[in-house]
Chains A and B, each alone.
Chain A
Amino acid sequence: MADGSIFSRREMLGGGLALTAGGLLVPEGAIAATQSLPRRGGRIRAACMSLSTADTLDPAKGALSSDYVRHFMLYNCLTELDRRLRPIPSLAESIVSKDQRLWYIRLRKGITFHNGKALTSADVVYSLLRHKDPATASKLAAIAEQFVAIRANGPLELTLQLEGPNADLPTMLAQSHFAIVPAGEKAFTSGNGTGPYRLAVFSRGVRTVGRRNENYWKPGKPYLDEIELIGIPDEVSRVNALLSGDIHMALAVNPRSTRRVSASPGHVVRETPSALYTNLIMRQDQLPTSNPHFAAGMKYLMDRPLIKRALFRNYATIANDHPIPPFHPYFRSDLPQTALDLDKARWHLQRAGIGRTRVPVYASPAAEGSVDMASIVQEYGAKVGLNVAVNRVPADGYWSTHWMKHPLGFGNTNPRPTADLVFSLFYKSDAAWNESGWKNPRFDRLLLEARAEGDHARRKQLYGEMQGLVRANCGVSIPVFISLIDAYDRRLKGWYPVQLGGFMGYTFAEHLWWEG
């Protein structure tokens, strides 16, 4: 009786989800909408890029895509991101603040860990505070430094006090590193979380197997019975394994392999537009790149459509020399798009006064696509009288020996969950990774103001002005945003892109279902 009623309720919820999925994404229309009701069952095997002996069940230590997938299988965070990257409650029922500094968090009732222990505020306090302990070796220790105090006010209530106001706290808490583990957990051998899958097998560097958590707190979810997560470092092998049916989803497929995947009737390429970019860095503290005319000239030398087409087979989004992509909620759409303009480039570069002096540019396979971008810049540079020499250096050690060390070089930046993070890490005047070394007091002021601002419209305005400042003045040229490409077995349903990473921002485990 009771079972029957729960089941029908689940069906209803599932139907609702499928309708939104169909309406937003599935071009096949009505057929897809009627067919893609989530259903239970199925065992799948998913392949990430690599596994190693560093594989971990400790969310704080997650370093590779496979770690993020594993952690989202086993654990939950206080919040999660919806498909537009807006934070929504997860383990937290509500998370509110008046001044963006003191946050009140109330937990959902009746949630249990895999071993049956109930979730309480003590677990949350422990899970968040451990990031501040150097012995934890947390990847997000720098972010966790903002947590001044976290106190339990009751079994399900707690307060979190930040060092300074930060409106992005709910978004930051959705990162897998901040997943909630039971209080006192130190060994991290059992994967005991509140997540959709229970750990069945964990063999470092070989495989992780998760079985459906029948007591999962989200009604109806998850759908798959079992997920086996493996790593296949070699891209060709990964695609071959997918095409031969040995795996059902493959992370990070090369644009050159997409035709092979599309040619197979049983498989499909899924593109996730992302904020990943490879950028030209013009150091503002070295000559000749510190001349504002030099940076301006170089930005006009970028043939963005060519880079998009030739380097990434159109799996890219044209960028406008600032790090916020067009699909971001805070994207400023009224900025004019910089395009290839040899006349303007020649005019600026003549003003920069370098003449025929040889200008070396450092590129490396470590920064995806940079070697080809350098060649394009060299080619167009020759047309306007700029003598660029491409220095190709090996990927090993590029970040420690070359990155940010030469007047002209390349960098590569992964998507970050918030605009604040990418601006703070790479564009703030005193940031360790301020790649071009530009200094803009107005930008720094706007950054702090936007961080503390709770009003969405006002924030959008502030971030918009910052985009304009970076585009016009920063010694960085971002030609395109590189899309993430995954390949799937067609029988896996329920996919939608999450811009933070492949495999639906690594959270596919609780969203996908199998129609075999």
Chain B
Amino acid sequence: MASPISAGSSGTRKIAIMIAGRIGLAFVTLFLVSLIVFAISDLLPGDAAQEALGQSATPAQVAALRHEMGLDRPAHVRFGGWITGLAGGDAGTSLVANMPVGEIISQRLPNSLLLAAFTALVSVPLALSIGIASAMNRGGRLDRALNIATLSMVALPEFLVATLAVLIFSVHLRWLPSISMVPEDAGWGEMFQSFAMPVGALTVVVVAQMARMTRAAVVDQLDRPYVEMALLKGLSRRAIIVSHVLPNAVGPIVNAMALSMSYLLGGAIIVETIFNYPGLASLMVNAVTSRDMPLLQACAMIFCSVYLLLMLIADVVAILANPRLRTA
């Protein structure tokens, strides 16, 4: 990240302006998303009071609970109250659990972040190596083998991968636990054991996408005249890839990675379900079924912010890495 300084102050300012603009837009997006989520969930049959009381509820009970939860107010009042609270840093109180949303989220968010971080740590280097290796051997045996491997990984649904992994590694071999409930005082060994399969299953899902994008971007650059020029100058292939091709290809690669990473947070629901991992995605599904609006909104806001943040990082990295975007 030393490059912007050398690129001159105009480049730095440009990036600063872009980031500021993006953050502004992000707030608009967040507002719209919250509005849409609120509107859609308001259309769902039943509300938190009915869901909480179940079939045997008496009308008096439902009315009383609705009043207590504030559900008898009109929709725009509820939305307004929620969003002003959020602006002041208060995400509200969960209707179902009767405790601050922030507290519930703070129990789950670290779990999700940890899972995503471990997966990123494994999958990003793996995807990069696969993509670059197959691009460099384009048409060769390695390329074809890796192509088949990544294509089949894309085709394999994660519930199949995860279930097979459980059958093999926990039921038959008994090496790994089938459910990932990491105790708070877990050591590194225990941590590794609990995370091995969820991280593995998620890696299978995201690595293929990233590797194929990497390969495509690198191949695209390899066809360019400047690569031929570099070859004629006598540069080694390794040097060409590292110092010439990658900086130019990094934009689409980072973009693909940002998309995959954002999936790791909100899209991990299947892996969370199979391994019974207490993450944020299952919390959000829970919030939908119990019609717990404040919790649902908070989850939606988190997923949306992370997505926007990752996209912003991807764009900034692409600009910083590419001299033409930097100074243009």
A residues near B (Cβ < 8 Å) are 52-55, 61, 63, 134-135, 137-142, 145, 203-207, 230-234, 236-237, 240-241, 243-247, 397, 399-400
Contacts and interface: CB of A to CB of B under 8 A. Distances in A.
Given A240-B166, A246-B170, 16 more contacts: A52-B290, A53-B96, A53-B283, A53-B290, A54-B52, A55-B97, A134-B60, A135-B64, A135-B65, A137-B61, A137-B65, A138-B61, A141-B56, A206-B107, A232-B276, A244-B177
A185 to B, nearest CB: 14
A142 B276 contact: no
B61 A134 contact: yes
B179 A237 contact: yes
A116 B53 CA distance: 32
B174 interface: yes
Contacts of B61: 134, 137-138, 141
Given A232-B276, A244-B170, A139 B178 contact: no
B208 to A, nearest CB: 24
Nearest to B175: A244
Nearest to B275: A237
Interface string B61-87: 101110010000000000000000000
B225 interface: no
A54 B97 contact: yes
A233 B273 contact: yes
Interface in B163-191: 163, 166-167, 170-171, 174, 177-179, 181
B58 interface: yes
A139 B56 contact: yes
Interface of B: 45-46, 52-58, 60-61, 63-65, 68, 94, 96-97, 104, 107, 163, 166-167, 170-171, 174, 177-179, 181, 273-276, 278, 282-283, 286-287, 289-290, 292, 295
Contacts of A241: 170, 178-179, 276
Contacts of B274: 234, 236-237
A203 B107 contact: yes
Contacts of B45: 397, 400
Contacts of A245: 174
Given A237-B273, A243-B171, A206 B53 contact: no
Nearest to B270: A234
Contacts of A236: 163, 274
A303 to B, nearest CB: 31
B56 A246 contact: no
Contact of A142 (B58, B287, B289): B58
B50 to A, nearest CB: 10
Given A137-B52, A236-B163, A246 B177 contact: yes
B280 to A, nearest CB: 11
Contacts of B60: 134
Contacts of B94: 53
Contact of A139 (B53, B179, B278): B53
A234 B276 CA distance: 8
A53 B179 contact: no
Closest A-B pairs by Cβ, 8 of them: A134-B64, A244-B170, A53-B97, A244-B178, A134-B61, A241-B178, A240-B178, A206-B278
A244 B166 contact: yes
